[in-house]
Structure 1
Amino acid sequence: MMRDEGGSVRFYCTAGAGMEAFLLDEVKRKLNATEVEHIPGRVFFCCHSNLHDMMQLKSAERLFLLLRKAPPTSLPTNPGKAASVIQQRIVGNPDVWSGALSTWSSLQAELNGSGGRGQKRKREEEEESLNRPTFRVSCRCSGTIARSYNSQNLNRIIGMAINRQLGWKADLRDPTVNVYLSDDHCVVGIPLLRQPLASRTYLKHTGLRSTIAWAMASLCNLQEASVVLDPMCGVGTILLEAVQECPNGVFIGMDSDEVQLHKAVENVQAAGQEERILLIQTSCTAMPLPAASVDAVVCDVPFGRKFSCSDDMTTALPHILAEMERVLREGGILVLLLSLQLSALIKKLIKSDTLDLQSHAAGCDEDAHTSETDAGSRETGKLKFAFNSLILQSKHRVSLGSTDALIHTYTKRHTTCDAQL
């Protein structure tokens, strides 16, 4: 088991592609973690926090106790020689594994509590589990190793090495030994929780992945009593993540789909947030809200086969964006999850995606001397859309599994050439 010089335990979390930056920030901020580093899909850290605190990480997929982090391992094609290399490079020092098992058992006891049992009986059970440890192997590999060995073969080879070197017995019960092998990394760990951190007990119906929904909510820079709007809320996932971050906020969800809104109602009820989240059935192109009335607008813009939408989103997006800009106050934040195609479209719509403030202001002056309809009119047909007040702050590319998407974050600034609706 890996510890830093101060004696704190070394952990790691897995993260979806593109989510590493959010997780790096979260472990530093919430856990006061040290020695924080990352590789694609994994963030490593040391901390003295208890397991309950680590369970509050919202951007992580799974949490592990780190046994070994080593340079890449090249396996011989001969199975016998491969087993020998694994024994030396992956299993390593048996004392490390014994220490890890002891720490794992202590953390499990901390999580489960004594349950009313005496301390003597509790110690006896811990000692019994340490004397007769069981395990199963879950191995993922990529790169050169994956071309020579599949995961099933590696599970068997690693399992035999652990059994031979450590005397542990293979079993389908926990703890599971997780091994990740690539051309760049060798990571070995034991999961600390049965359920992924990404699983939310308060969601009855799933929609957008909860980790990405949380990341979008975190980009809203929520303050005390912030008013947050999701104009296409679906089953309400983003709002339910945002509620966790802003206890005294006001949250409004809108959707034109009655079925989706009904699921959102059930999710809100299951989470016990009926008094915090207001749900309204309405069109996102005609929102029943005054201008400049919300502090943050956050939205997973529908796209693709998984995210069906009755309208052609490439046509509808300018109109939707115009309403979002209208209801957002000056200094407010707009966070959008967009397909790669819609991201390219919005880059054309919002000048500040490509122009700095000075050149953008000059563009406003130039527009003022052109025809009135070409100065930022949001009328339909051939008239031009111009979103002069929205300033791009960041873009984050994230994986949705079968496809990638981009999270765009904007702030709304005051401009004298804002178009009037």
Structure 2
Amino acid sequence: MSSQGDGAAEQHPETKLSDNSSTETDATGGAIITVTIGATVPTGFEHTAAEEVKEKIGVDVRISKDRGRIYFPITTDKLFQVHLLRSVDNLFVVVEEYDQYQFKDSKEETLAELQELASKLPWTNALEVWKLNGSLKKRKAHRRGNGNKVKPNSETTDATVADTEQQELPEAAEDQTKPETTPDIEGSKQESEDAAPKAKVLKFRVTCNRAGDKHSFSSNEAARDFGGAVQEFFQWKADMTKFDIEVLLNIHNQEVVIGIALTEESLHKRNISHFGPTTLRPTLCYGMLRLCKPQASDIILDPMCGTGTIPLEGAIEFPSSFYIAGDNNDMAVNRVVNNTRHIQKRRAEMGSVSGLPIDTVRWDLCNLPIKTSSVDIIITDMPFGKRMGSRKKNWDLYPSCLREMARVCRPGSGKAVLLTQDKKCFAKAISRMGGLWRKLHTVWVNVGGLHAGVYLLKRTGAVFGQTPEDVYESRGIVNTHEKGDDKELP
């Protein structure tokens, strides 16, 4: 659980982590602020996200005790780089954080302390970063504020989200207002005085994400009381839907992090314009792709592609490989084609190369029209037996498709990254493959509230067709499911 704390002088029994911001001066004399950025990522892929940050930004990452969050420092001159990360869902700038916040025994004392905290936090640098962040991208008119929508980590099922409740806040403090058109300066002092009251009043809301069972207060109560204190301190106005600024109060057991959101909507909302019933988040797809480390000229296959989020994410982020996307359902194949065209059109409008290294085919999953031993990597989201297919059908489907995957995958070097929540069925199917697949690693992830596994498999050197198990059952007995990317994340 995380929440942001106070950097002011009052003594608290909690342990405050190292300062989250500092200020330097560059060669031109301009101020460069160093702050801590928090990011929510698909649970289970925290280390993958940390690797991406280290690779692209060159800074060390701290993984939070609260699953699905990472923290890293950045200077304001490199702020734009955080929006280029592919493994993060939401971004926020940290105002303050406490590793061991000592909550009071009674609810009243705890809520009173949260109210006092709001006026003592070091808001200045975080608000400067928030303003700078707004100038880096085109703002949408307003993000739609759904009361339950904005969890820093939407996959964390035990977190509770709440907003400030009907707090009517007065006008904004002058230095917190959003940049507006400069008023007429014909020189008259009277004109300046007339223009001042017209400054835009900032609208805000507080979102509390709380996890842990030893708190005397609810998320609603924390958001309400802390938000009321923020209102009084800044003189902002509350608006649950058309807010300009969102203050995050993240509480995970005794870890408290307070931040200001930098993303208007989750960064995972990219690439896909035509959604299926179980479309995967591109951020999760990116984590799966990084797990198999695509190399130049690799042939990468998604035999149950659904809306195509995995191959499309790969074609954009790892374009040196070639992707084959297939499904046995006409509607799914059409969605992939439409999503591909949408991305190509968008890239052409931006003046970049519009072509994508991807091909789409309709096929029978258990009888693929692909040459034996010709695929380097297989990466797919298998049916969970929830929204697609059934657990009963999976007992026939899984062995059949794993056997066909083993046939087309290169012996000795081929890999597979497979996502499924039907763990028992998958383990049994692997055990019946006659040594064709060897499990290397498992990443446990939260997919739409379901505990699922991402399995990294290695194709052994065993020759397909020469082990007794790989002909244990007849092939092709199951071909009745419509497969999409298997679980939709909120």
Q: TM-score band, normalised by the shorter chain?
A: 0.7 to 0.9
Following TM superposition, by how much is the alpha carbon of 1:128 offset from its aligned partner in structure 2, in angstroms? Answer: 10
2:193 match: none
The aligned counterpart of 1:103 is: 129
Out of 65, 72, 75, which is 2:101 matched to?
72
Identical pairs, percent: 24
Q: Distance in 1 between matches of 2:124 and 2:408?
A: 59
- One-letter amino acid of the counterpart of residue 42, structure 1: R
Q: Which residue among 34, 39, 46 is the counterpart of 1:13?
A: 39
Q: Secondary structure of the residue that 1:86 maps to in structure 2?
A: helix
2:283 aligns with 211
Matched position secondary structure for 1:279: strand
Of 331, 345, 357, the residue aligned with 2:425 is 345
| 1:378 match | none
For structure 1, which segment, 47-56 or 390-399, has the greater mean C-alpha deviation from structure 2 after superposition? 47-56
Using the TM superposition, give the Cα deviation of residue 4 of structure 1 relative to its aligned residue in structure 2, in angstroms: 6.0
Pairs within 5 Å for 1:145-224: 148-164=216-232, 166-172=233-239, 173-206=243-276, 207-224=279-296
Q: Is the 8 A contact 1:16 1:61 kept in 2?
A: yes
Which residue in the other structure is 1:373 paired with? none
Query: After the TM superposition, which residues 193-342 of structure 1 pair with which residues of structure 2 at under 5 Å, given as runs?
Result: 193-206=263-276, 207-272=279-344, 275-308=356-389, 312-330=393-411, 331-339=413-421, 341=422
SS at match of 2:64: strand
SS of the residue corresponding to residue 312 of structure 1 reads helix
CA distance in 2, matches of 1:142, 1:260: 37
Cα RMSD of the aligned pairs, angstroms, is 3.0
**Number of aligned residue pairs:** 373
- Indicate how the Cα distance of structure 1 residues 279 and 110 shifts in structure 2: closer, same or farther if over 3 A, else same: closer
Structure 1 residues 321 and 51, CA gap change in structure 2 (3 angstroms): same
- 1:371-410 mapped onto 2 (5 Å cutoff): 385-410=432-457
Matches of 1:25 and 1:236 in 2, distance apart? 25
Deviation of 1:87 (Å):
3.6
Question: CA deviation digits over 1:97-155, x for unaligned, max 9?
Answer: 12221221122223349xxxxxxx87969x99999655321112232465x43333222
Counterpart CA distance in 2 for 1:128 and 1:75 is 41
TM-score when normalising by structure 1: 0.79
Tell me how far apart the structure 2 counterparts of residues 230 and 311 of structure 1 sit (CA, whole Å).
Answer: 23
**Cα distance in 1, alignment partners of residues 430 and 442 from structure 2:** 14
Gap change, CA 1:216 and 1:130, over 3 Å in 2: farther
Asked if structure 2 preserves the Cα contact closer than 8 Å seen for 1:34 and 1:47, the reply is no
What is residue 14 of structure 2 aligned with on the other side? Answer: none
Q: For 1:297 and 1:35, how far apart are their aligned partners in 2?
A: 30
Contact 1:73-1:186 at 8 Å conserved across structures: no
The one of the two structures with greater contact order (alpha-carbon pairs below 8 A, sep at least 6) is 2
How many angstroms apart in 1 are the aligned matches of 2:379 and 2:464?
24
Distance of aligned partners of 1:72 and 1:306 in 2 relative to their CA distance in 1, 3 Å threshold: farther
d(CA) in 2 for partners of 1:228, 1:153: 49
Consecutive unaligned residues in structure 2, runs of 5 or more: 1-18, 25-32, 140-178, 184-195, 345-353, 472-490
Tell me the equivalent position of 2:210: 141
* Deviation per residue, 1:42-84 (Å, 9 max, x gap): 11111236343212222222000111111234245454x3443
Q: Per-residue CA shift, 1:336-393, capped at 9, x if unaligned?
A: 1122x3x333334435xxxxxxxxxxxxxxxxxxxxxxxxxxxxxxxxx434232222
Q: Cα distance 1:416–1:283, how it changes in 2: closer, same or farther (>3 A)?
A: closer
Amino acid of the residue matched to residue 58 of structure 2? Answer: N
Aligned-partner Cα distance in 2 for 1:289–1:348: 26
Contact kept? 1:63, 1:191, Cα under 8 Å: yes
1:381: which partner in 2? Answer: none
> How does the TM-score come out when normalised to structure 2?
0.69
Change (3 A) 1:243 1:417: closer
**Pairing partner for 1:55 from 79, 83, 90:** 83
Would the aligned equivalents of 1:395 and 1:406 in 2 still touch at CA under 8 Å? yes
Q: Structure 1 residues 277, 129: CA separation in 2 closer, same or farther (over 3 Å shift)?
A: farther
Structure 2 counterpart of 1:149, which letter?
F
Give the Cα–Cα distance (whole angstroms) in 1 for the partners of residues 338 and 392 of structure 2. Answer: 26
Provide the C-alpha distance between the structure 2 equivalents of 1:31 and 1:3, rounded to a whole number of angstroms. Answer: 17
Amino acid at match of 1:252: I
Helix, strand or coil at the partner of 2:404: helix
Quote the offset at 1:216 in angstroms. 1.4
